[in-house]
Structure 1
Amino acid sequence: MIRRPPALVLALTLALAPMLSACSESPATHATAARRAYDAMDYPTARIEALAALDTGKLDDAAMRDLLALLARTQLRLGDGDGAQTTVARLEASGQHGAAVNRMKAEAALLRNLPQQTLAMLGNDPDADAWRLRAAAYQALGQGPSAVDAFRRGMAAGDNVQLARDYATFLMTAEDIPAAERVLARLRRIDPGGLDAAMVEGMLYQKQGRLDAAATTYDRAIAAHPKRIEPLLERANVADMQDQLDRAIAFAGRAAQLAPSDPRVLALQVQFASEKGDWDAVRRLLAPREADLDPRTPEGLAYAEALLRLGHPEQARVIFARALLLSPQNPYARMMLAEAQLAGDDAANALKTVQPLADSLLAGARELELAQRAARAAGDPRADALAQRMRSARFDDNQRLARTGEAAMVRRDWPGAIEAYRALLAQGDDGEVLKRLAVACSNAGRHREAIAYADRALATAPRDPDMVHAAGLVRLNAGEDLATARQLLRRASDSEPGNALFRADLARAGAG
């Protein structure tokens, strides 16, 4: 009599069948699959297949060296510095040397946060890819002018897709849109139809406020590169900017299926859960990382808000207080600290915290309502004045002008932004309005006005890094008083070392 296997044994056999089948495939089959996956930019599959081929131990020396090189490039694309270092060591042990292998070692060191080692390894290598790595190393070291020089020398050394992509991204961060467009034109020529060109094109459209064009670009990239999460994440961002939150969540969900542990995916999932008010989801996503969260980051702030909304105001207050101490110009941190203080029955301090936001010409209903609630709870007579202000025609006009100005800034309609913010400014000096006017005038080529507005903004808040940065930026854009521009941009960058825009503008100014 034939006995049937137990259900558990049968289930395990079925589950292991694909793995056993894969192990039985020839090394040549795995190697071919690895190359195809790499060419399709499906790097996780390329890594698995390359390792499977190498683990057989049945490759000749030449095939093994080729596959080790492919595996190293794959690991570098995946940001796996430790894995790439190990693979390159095996590659060198197999007898493979030369400039290309050395650049792999240098990039692996960079991914392991050893930028000085990267620079030392590259020596005098004149290849464009070496200049790309130098630029990244200098950026990691905070040496902006050296990074700009490396980008420019790399672009002169030859065509390199990753270099052009990184340079265009750097220029967009620095708001140098014309220069980014020139780099994009070159990227399109050397990488027609490629993912990097598509990503830069989409990001440039986003910078210009052309959201429909960005969405179309990302949709094409998603179709052409179905294994990559980058176009899915940016498409999700665009959908969110178009007030299509459910579509944004769907795109982020597709990215999560491809790379569930990628921190970029987690960041978007947290952002969208926050926008939906799903605070249980926010807390569930971030609780495992609570000890490592920086309170200034969007994730840190979202976690604090989740604690507040779920009935833990004191824990939230501690996080928001730290965030505001580290970034005193952050209006969200200020607003949420006031809410946490009010929820914790500390109305007087809540009013004190929110007052700078409520006093602004740009204050909206949320800021004024919170200030009014805090004043009422504290027995402060300002509560009635706040309520009257919210009912006034002037408040409605201010809100309309603020929305008009902000929309014009997004569209890069500088004359429209100038008109709206000037109308607001007729009611009196306001630091944030002055700063926005300075930026709009600077972009419109009205440099003298820009400098005057920026200096007035700085006078309202001399220690605010945003105001300091604006005063330096408008001088840089004008090409006037560059010594002062560099000094101001250095002050702003030193105040917020993690601010990519500040670092990029400092680098453009040539200040070390």
Structure 2
Amino acid sequence: MRNTLILPALLVLAACGSETPEQHFDRAQAAFKAEDYRTARKELGEAVSAAPDDARILDLLARVQLRLGDGEGAQATLARLEAAGGKGAEIARMKADAALLRGQASEALSLLGNDSHPDAWRIRAAALLANKDETGALEAYRKGLAAGGDARLVRDYARFLLDSQDIAGAEAQLADLRRRSPDALDTLMLAGDIDAQANRWDGALAAYKRAQSLYPTRPEPLLAQADAADQQGKLDEAEALVARATDVAPDSGDVLRMRIQIAAERGDWERVRSMLAPRESSLEARSPEGLAYAEALLRLGRAEQARAIYAKALLLSPQNPFARLMLAEAQLATGDAATAYATVKPLADSAMAGPRELELAEKAARAAGDPAADTLKARLQSGDLRRTQQLAASGQAAMARGDWNAAIMAYQQVSGYQADADVLKRLAFAASQAGRNAEAIGFADKALALQPSNADMIHMAGLARLRAGTDREKAVAYLEQALRADPANRLFRNDLARAQVAG
């Protein structure tokens, strides 16, 4: 009896392992079409184990690895594909894409040679961006579009424009994407991201939820919804969405970054530290993860370590107000009150300074024995502070909804705005967006006169002229000067590229 029971069980196990490479390949193709790349990779792993020299399997595996950002895996697969007889311009493009993912931008450019296919222009633009040649990248995008474009090129160009705060330009590319593939994940996510940047939350959430319904195995729609919920102050909802994204893609770097963000907002600093400590040596100080790690260290009593990270972050991004504020807090925690006050003073001097900046400045000044402490305390207790905060909130809300004239009206009611560079910069931006170009340039120039070495003010003086379409030479000169002052600033690089290509 025992043998008769074992035999059918063995037959069932044999049947389970009898699927052919063709069956795995077919399922991988279906998964690839559905943009479920993790499932496709799993099926292709089974297929390639049984048919290691099948060029069709290797070709699709390389494409899947590229979509998943696995440059090393794609490089190895492409080598096997070439050994199996694969050749041609398309393989060269995939090799270039793999090189780019491995951080080898110059190698990618070399592999592309003079290839003028739209996908070659997409990879070339990405490689040029990696090499900090935004002007060359912008030209590559435009040449790729002139060559007929493809969906991924259009997507990347739209995101370049969105990073440059050119919402109208990004929307024009989105319209092209919708004509090509209206329900593709890239199309839906771009639509949501454009609406989110424009603070059109209903539209953003509708796009993200449709993406989630069509692509349930992808974490991106869940993370985008989580980020939207977080920005609207719905932290519990955001945390629940991140948990769902973790179930979908537990090994995703984007999921980890969002988990860290939620933990930081919860004040769970030990959890933040434990998630980031294994990556401490590779963290970029100015990145959100680097800043979160520094705050975790500060809150856990490791002020000296935090101070070192914040100092590096501010050196790399000198216009980052959060890095400046937190560096001052770390300096004060290490007992260096005078330096802390000097660090936070530029923030406290602004008419837009809020209670957090003023309280830290007052505390540092008092600890340092600086008489400014009493003046700062008086500002904190004054009715002017409350009114300024209300006007600042009104101006920010107006800018968020694109009501530029209302923003201008709010900021012009701030007491002493004509002598405050930060308020003038906001006025310049709002006036430029409203098409009030002469006023925009006037506001920008006043802000620059007050803070002539501030990269943000220099950039605004150039940007106002660029948008006005006047005095291009001066616009480019200002944008170049701003970038020299803050060379890591991606927005500055993109705006300079647009100014140079426009000429």
Task: Give yes or no for TM over 0.5.
Answer: yes
In structure 2, the CA distance between the partners of 1:380 and 1:45, relative to structure 1 (3 Å rule), is same
In structure 2, the CA distance between the partners of 1:114 and 1:19, relative to structure 1 (3 Å rule), is farther
1:169 equivalent to 2:159? Answer yes
In structure 2, the CA distance between the partners of 1:416 and 1:21, relative to structure 1 (3 Å rule), is farther
In structure 2, the CA distance between the partners of 1:78 and 1:398, relative to structure 1 (3 Å rule), is same
Question: Which residue matches 2:397?
Answer: 407
Q: Distance in 1 between matches of 2:96 and 2:305?
A: 43
Is residue 23–residue 52 contact of structure 1 (8 Å, CA) maintained in 2? no
1:510 equivalent to 2:500? Answer yes
Question: Which residue matches 1:145?
Answer: 135
Match of 1:438 among 421, 428, 440: 428
Is residue 439–residue 470 contact of structure 1 (8 Å, CA) maintained in 2? yes
Which segment is superposed worse, 336-345 or 299-308? 336-345
Is residue 76–residue 107 contact of structure 1 (8 Å, CA) maintained in 2? yes
Alpha-carbon shift at residue 494 of structure 1 (Å)? 3.5
Q: Distance in 1 between matches of 2:98 and 2:438?
A: 47
Which segment is superposed worse, 345-354 or 287-296? 345-354
Question: Which residue matches 1:44?
Answer: 38
Q: What per-residue deviation string (whole Å, max 9, x for no partner) do you get for residues 41-68 of structure 1?
A: 12122112112111113x8x7xx22111
In structure 2, the CA distance between the partners of 1:503 and 1:280, relative to structure 1 (3 Å rule), is same
Question: Which residue matches 2:222?
Answer: 232
In structure 2, the CA distance between the partners of 1:312 and 1:126, relative to structure 1 (3 Å rule), is closer
Q: Distance in 1 between matches of 2:14 and 2:416?
A: 76
In structure 2, the CA distance between the partners of 1:22 and 1:301, relative to structure 1 (3 Å rule), is farther
Is residue 425–residue 434 contact of structure 1 (8 Å, CA) maintained in 2? no
Is residue 199–residue 218 contact of structure 1 (8 Å, CA) maintained in 2? yes
Q: What per-residue deviation string (whole Å, max 9, x for no partner) do you get for residues 344-364 of structure 1?
A: 233232222222211110111
Alpha-carbon shift at residue 20 of structure 1 (Å)? 8.9
Is residue 198–residue 221 contact of structure 1 (8 Å, CA) maintained in 2? yes
Question: Which residue matches 1:124?
Answer: 114
**What does residue range 5-404 of structure 1 map to in structure 2 within 5 Å?**
23-57=17-51, 64-404=54-394
Is residue 388–residue 415 contact of structure 2 (8 Å, CA) maintained in 1? no
In structure 2, the CA distance between the partners of 1:501 and 1:20, relative to structure 1 (3 Å rule), is farther
Unaligned runs of 5+ in 1: 3-17
Unaligned runs of 5+ in 2: 3-11
One-letter amino acid of the structure 1 residue matched with residue 98 of structure 2: A
Alpha-carbon shift at residue 23 of structure 1 (Å)? 4.9
One-letter amino acid of the structure 2 residue matched with residue 132 of structure 1: R
Q: Distance in 2 between matches of 1:178 and 1:351?
A: 42
SS of the residue 1:261 aligns to: coil
Q: Distance in 2 between matches of 1:40 and 1:245?
A: 31
In structure 2, the CA distance between the partners of 1:19 and 1:234, relative to structure 1 (3 Å rule), is farther
In structure 2, the CA distance between the partners of 1:121 and 1:353, relative to structure 1 (3 Å rule), is closer
Structure with higher RCO (Cα < 8 A, 6+ apart):
1
Alpha-carbon shift at residue 493 of structure 1 (Å)? 2.7
Q: Distance in 2 between matches of 1:75 and 1:22?
A: 27
Which segment is superposed worse, 377-386 or 427-436? 377-386
One-letter amino acid of the structure 2 residue matched with residue 269 of structure 1: R
Alpha-carbon shift at residue 428 of structure 1 (Å)? 4.3
Q: What per-residue deviation string (whole Å, max 9, x for no partner) do you get for residues 314-333 of structure 1?
A: 22222222222332322112
SS of the residue 2:432 aligns to: helix
Is residue 317–residue 489 contact of structure 2 (8 Å, CA) maintained in 1? no
In structure 2, the CA distance between the partners of 1:107 and 1:390, relative to structure 1 (3 Å rule), is same
One-letter amino acid of the structure 2 residue matched with residue 451 of structure 1: I
How many residue pairs match? The answer is: 494
Q: What per-residue deviation string (whole Å, max 9, x for no partner) do you get for residues 187-218 of structure 1?
A: 00101211111011001101211012101210
Question: Which residue matches 1:7?
Answer: none
Percent of matched pairs sharing the same residue: 53
Give every structure 1 segment of 4 or more consecutive aligned residues whose post-TM-superposition deviation is greater than 6 Å: 18-22
Q: Distance in 2 between matches of 1:380 and 1:294?
A: 34
What TM-score does the superposition give when structure 1 sets the normalisation length? 0.91
Question: Which residue matches 2:9?
Answer: none
SS of the residue 1:463 aligns to: coil
Alpha-carbon shift at residue 262 of structure 1 (Å)? 2.7
Alpha-carbon shift at residue 102 of structure 1 (Å)? 2.1
SS of the residue 2:179 aligns to: helix
In structure 2, the CA distance between the partners of 1:291 and 1:124, relative to structure 1 (3 Å rule), is closer
